[in-house]
Amino acid sequence: MYDEKEYNKTAEEPYNLKNPPPASSSTVKKVMRSMKTKDTKAEVTLRKALREIGLSGYRKNWEKALGKPDITYPGKKVAIFVHGCFWHGCPKCGKQTPKTHSQFWIEKISRNRQRDTNIILKLEESGWKVFVFWECEINKDVQTLAKDVAEFIQRTDRSIY
């Protein structure tokens, strides 16, 4: 729906999610537009590792679960989020905030982290087991992460189907 206030933003107004700062170059613009939100390399790598140890039967970005987890085992109430280190502010690898429009990025990543926390708490309050795996963890040792999921599922119920 057309929103005249949003359409007529002036340059003096602060940047926000609906009015992000302009890309600093055409290269940056191209890179930002190419960023995936689904089926990222880390997600694909983790799903492959889960299948390799016999954990198929998951749902990708299952819309019936709060927050649309990247990988969900609905019958087991297991939700897995694969967080990109930059977008979710990884505390483990310390990705740097861009120097251009740094205040915008600090606020955006902070909002992402707060949203993540709220979703995880609500899922856990509803009886879900939530795993959060960081991109850097997946790149380092995906097999161990997949085994952690398998061990949890096996402890709760031998059958995953």
Domains of the chain: 36-156 (3.40.960.10)
Spatial contact of 131 and 148, defined as CB atoms under 8 Å apart: yes
pTM for this one? Answer: 0.76
- The predicted structure's pLDDT at residue 129: 98
Q: Residue for token digits 């107004």?
A: 13
Task: Give me the chain's average pLDDT, please.
Answer: 82
For 131, residues 6+ apart whose C-beta sits below 8 A from its C-beta are 78, 79, 80, 81, 145, 148, 149, 152
| 114-144 tens-digit pLDDT | 999 999 999 999 999 999 999 999 999 999 9
